[in-house]
Amino acid sequence: MGKVWNLKEINEKEILEYKEKFKISETLASMLVSKGIKVDEVKSYLNPDISYLNDPFVLPDMKRLVDRILQAQNNQENIVIYGDYDVDGITSITVLYSFLKDIGIEAKYYLPDRLEEGYGLNKNALKLLKGEGADLIITVDCGISAFEEADYSKEIGLDLLITDHHECSDVLPEAIAVVNPKRKDSSYPCTTLAGVGVTFKVITALAMALDLPKESYLKYIDIVAVGTIADIVPLLGENRVITFNGLKALKSTKNEGLKALIKVSKIEKIDSDSVSFGLAPRINASGRMNDATIAVKLLLSNSPIEAYNLACTLDKQNKERQEVERKIFEEAVTLINEKGLDKKRSIVLAKSNWHQGVIGIVASKLTEMYLKPVVLLAIDGENAKGSARIPQGLSLYEAISNCTEFLISFGGHELAAGLSLETKNIEQFADKFESVIYEMKPDEFVKVVDIDILLDTKKIDFDLIKDVAKLAPFGQKNKMPVFLCKDLKVTSICTLKDNKHLKLCLQDKNICQEAIFFGAGSRRDELVIGDKIDIACTLSVNAFMGNIKIQFMLLDFKKSI
């Protein structure tokens, strides 16, 4: 499938204004304008200092939540933190549990079993916790759609505080406090906090109420950054402040679990990529394959030996997850081909032996591969549970909201969701979902390569690399800048790693630049030596045996016109 290149139009007057006002290079000014960073945001964007963190008490119900926690402390009540089994939920539990312990509250935590209980609050768990003596439940990264469970909690005399960040309706669950930046009545500046970001605001508010120093909550910002990056929320505004400072703290983290996981993951450079592809999958593996409490124990451990052993366990589970994922992916592709689903607007697949903990990852890969909304369901008798993903440009939450007559439950974000339904309703759901997607987007999805700047190769130097680095950390809504370079002559062509990847040497006048195109080994035959091509690329630095050089990382290429 061909890709559409979209070279952004940028205002030359704005570029000049940014360059002069902030004393920065023209290329850096161009990148900021291309990213849509407003003139009043440039200072905080380029210097995302801790001082730019927002007041947590602007969040609705925050004071009520803080007062209830402090009341529980005074009354020596039993508190249980109820979380989710993904990285966001695991880091949320870790941060709140640790902070409460710091202020003298010995809380407990509870993680539902992904396969047996599924996501979020459930009545059986609430009944169990009440029976064990719990007085107060604090949810992290879940609870915003738990209407029946909130009513049940009230019925059995179990007080409930909800902290969440998922989409919510106008009506909220009946709880003592509901803290969520996405509440319709919220004026909080950052609506895109991760669950652990909301938890971070909770401990900040508690620290402020108790007149504690900033270090009392900032010491957890490395863990908060890991959860924020892993949850793929936009890395702008307050999320940028959290991740920028959190990654800096992560480089010298005092958390034994994180240190062990960095070692086991063989991470040499701490950045958003190493969190996304190194730390996060291993933390996630426990909840996907086994017991998510293993990851919580890792992050709470004060013993280097225990932490290393737990990190090795997670690494092993991650390898197992990768193998299960590979098998499900291959089965899904076979079913898509057999059923001709690649010709439809959406893909809905269900199978009885699929692992619920892994199908979300497979759905993401299929969405990327087929450029269609994908729903994968694991059938378990009369019911099925699954995960859904959608290409950027449409709201998955909105799409599934139009199919609720066939669902038992669902919840999630704009681009990802979880859902459950009766097995007998799968076909009806698939038909309705297909029609909803068609109504939302009658034309086909296309792969768009958004390009920030047309770049003269004469400007490629280490000063440019430094300017690009000023835009990090990169992630959702803050991608690494993409450059367009034109009329480059192909001087060498080869493939790497069993023909999976493509390596080129590209010449422009007297400049010869190495280019790597991951996953594009099959495109080798499109080129011959001497061809002139245009490329869409990012830039990276390759340091091999002391030889440091800049190279192109290709996203696409086309023959020059």
pLDDT digits (tens, 9 = 90+) for 297-333: 999 999 999 999 999 999 999 999 999 999 999 999 9
pLDDT digits (tens, 9 = 90+) for 2-27: 689 999 999 999 999 999 999 999 99
pLDDT at 130 over 80: yes
Strand bridging mode 447-451 / 453-454: unpaired
pLDDT at 473 over 60: yes
Residue 538's DSSP bridge partners are: 553
d(CA 249, CA 97): 20
pLDDT digits (tens, 9 = 90+) for 275-286: 999 999 999 998
At residue 554, the 3 state secondary structure works out as: strand
Give pLDDT, residue 542.
86
Phi, psi at 385, each rounded to 5°: -125, 145
pTM for this prediction: 0.91
For residue 262, give the nearest of 229, 226, 214, 217 by alpha carbon.
Answer: 226
For residue 120, give the nearest of 99, 137, 100 by alpha carbon.
Answer: 137
Tokens, residue 118: 């599924």
pLDDT at 119 over 80: no
d(CA 31, CA 37): 9
d(CA 206, CA 352): 46
For residue 191, give the nearest of 143, 238, 228, 231 by alpha carbon.
Answer: 238
- Amino acid present at 173: P
Phi, psi at 183, each rounded to 5°: -55, 140
Q: How large is the average pLDDT for residues 406-426?
A: 89
pLDDT at 413 over 90: no
Residue 160's DSSP bridge partners are: 137
Burial class (CB in 10 A: 0-12, 13-18, 19+), 442: exposed
Domains of the chain are 3-47+449-559 (2.40.50.460), 52-243 (3.90.1640.30), 340-445 (3.10.310.30)
Give pLDDT, residue 115.
66
d(CA 135, CA 131): 10
For residue 418, give the nearest of 353, 356, 472, 480 by alpha carbon.
Answer: 356
Burial class (CB in 10 A: 0-12, 13-18, 19+), 151: middle
Looking at every residue in the chain, the average pLDDT score rounds to: 94
At residue 434, the 3 state secondary structure works out as: helix
Residue pair 246/225 in contact by the 8 Å Cβ criterion: yes
pLDDT at 405 over 90: yes
pLDDT at 1 over 60: no
d(CA 225, CA 275): 9
Over 375-425, what HEC string results? EEEEEECCEEEEEEECCCCCCHHHHHHCCHHHCCEEEECCCEEEEEEEHHH
At residue 502, the 3 state secondary structure works out as: strand
pLDDT digits (tens, 9 = 90+) for 55-70: 999 999 999 999 999 9
Q: What is the dihedral of CA 218, 219, 222, 224, to 10 degrees?
A: -60
Tokens, residue 362: 């497979």
pLDDT at 482 over 60: yes
At residue 262, the 3 state secondary structure works out as: helix
Percent of the chain at pLDDT > 70 equals 99
Residue pair 69/79 in contact by the 8 Å Cβ criterion: yes
CA separation, residue 175 to residues 82, 120, 143, 160, 223 (Å): 14, 15, 10, 5, 28
Measure CA 273 to chain center.
Answer: 11
Q: How large is the average pLDDT for residues 108-118?
A: 83
pLDDT digits (tens, 9 = 90+) for 203-218: 999 999 999 999 999 9
For residue 290, give the nearest of 335, 324, 246 by alpha carbon.
Answer: 324
pLDDT at 146 over 60: yes
- Amino acid present at 470: K
For residue 291, give the nearest of 165, 409, 116 by alpha carbon.
Answer: 116
The pLDDT-based confidence of 337 (bands split at 50, 70, 90) is very high
Q: How large is the average pLDDT for residues 417-445?
A: 93
For residue 156, give the nearest of 124, 118, 112 by alpha carbon.
Answer: 124
pLDDT digits (tens, 9 = 90+) for 176-185: 999 999 999 9
Percent composition of the chain: helix, strand, coil (DSSP 3-state, to 5): 45, 20, 35
At residue 88, the 3 state secondary structure works out as: helix
For residue 236, how many C-alpha atoms fall within 13 Å in the half-sphere facing its CB? 17
Give me the residue label for tokens 């902290």: 163
| Size of the chain, expressed as the number of residues it contains | 561
